[in-house]
A and B are shown apart, each in its own frame.
Chain A
């Protein structure tokens, strides 16, 4: 059985995070993001994506990480619609037969819904993002 799943590994503040390829629509550079005062602080603004306005989230603000919004824009589909994620960079594709491990208990408040688990990428552990839980 060859049940490999593929993930995009992205970088935030020097650490790896993952998004399933099945949710990925596009990797691009952040450009023409329109500020919108009505959106909350975690949003960088809105973007015209193939003729439709989508919200752009600064992932570092969501995860309370320091630094600038980042130099790569990742467009993903989620249960709450298409959204753009600002990250430091898109690093590589990971193809693995290992299933993600759930986040161990006692690490963070169980009401936080940002993570789907932990993945192994060679020697490193990568936090798998839950794209459906990133929007408030």
Chain B
């Protein structure tokens, strides 16, 4: 089945998420950190009256080797490096949440992946739904359902 996907980049990798419900793309901004949160949680932010947890997608997927974020990340220039990044606000099972990505690429209609067990390298497969291609470019399609069952 064809569906519209939002494509974005994290750590040089092209990723996609199925568009369903409302979606917002914002320039990266600092979230309110929450002490003792999971290491891949940037914090919480408010947008138009709704509170969103914001997840550092590269860390969720195991794509980056940077240290912990939030309260423990007062690295010099840390926030400056994030200026070009974006936050995508999504919804999964009625739960709003945000992910930080390096850049948003485009929207594209894609065939839903048929074989979720296709070989995927260098990425935590927990959130991977499958692989698709546009002009030989590999796109890893994500499914965030399991993000809320961590821990």
Q: Give me the interface of A with B, judged by CB distance under 8 Å.
A: 12-13, 15, 63-66, 101, 103-110, 112, 114-115, 118, 120, 124-125, 127
Q: Is B52 an interface residue (CB 8 A)?
A: yes
On whether the beta carbons of A106 and B35 are closer than 8 Å, the reply is no
- Report how far A109 CA is from B55 CA in the complex, Å: 15
Q: Is B24 an interface residue (CB 8 A)?
A: no
By a CB distance below 8 angstroms, the chain A residues around B33 are 15
On whether the beta carbons of B97 and A114 are closer than 8 Å, the reply is no
- Report the minimum CB–CB distance from B82 to chain A (whole Å): 18
Name the interface residues of B79-115: CB closer than 8 Å to any CB of A.
Answer: 95-97
By a CB distance below 8 angstroms, the chain A residues around B45 are 125
- Interface contacts (Cβ under 8 Å), in number, total 67
Name the interface residues of B119-141: CB closer than 8 Å to any CB of A.
Answer: none
B42-74 Cβ-contact flags toward A at 8 Å (1 or 0): 001110000111010000000000000001100
Q: A120-B46, A125-B44 are in contact. Are A107 and B71 (CB under 8 A)?
A: no
Q: A101-B51, A106-B148 are in contact. Are A64 and B38 (CB under 8 A)?
A: no
- Report how far A65 CA is from B38 CA in the complex, Å: 14
- Report how far A127 CA is from B37 CA in the complex, Å: 12
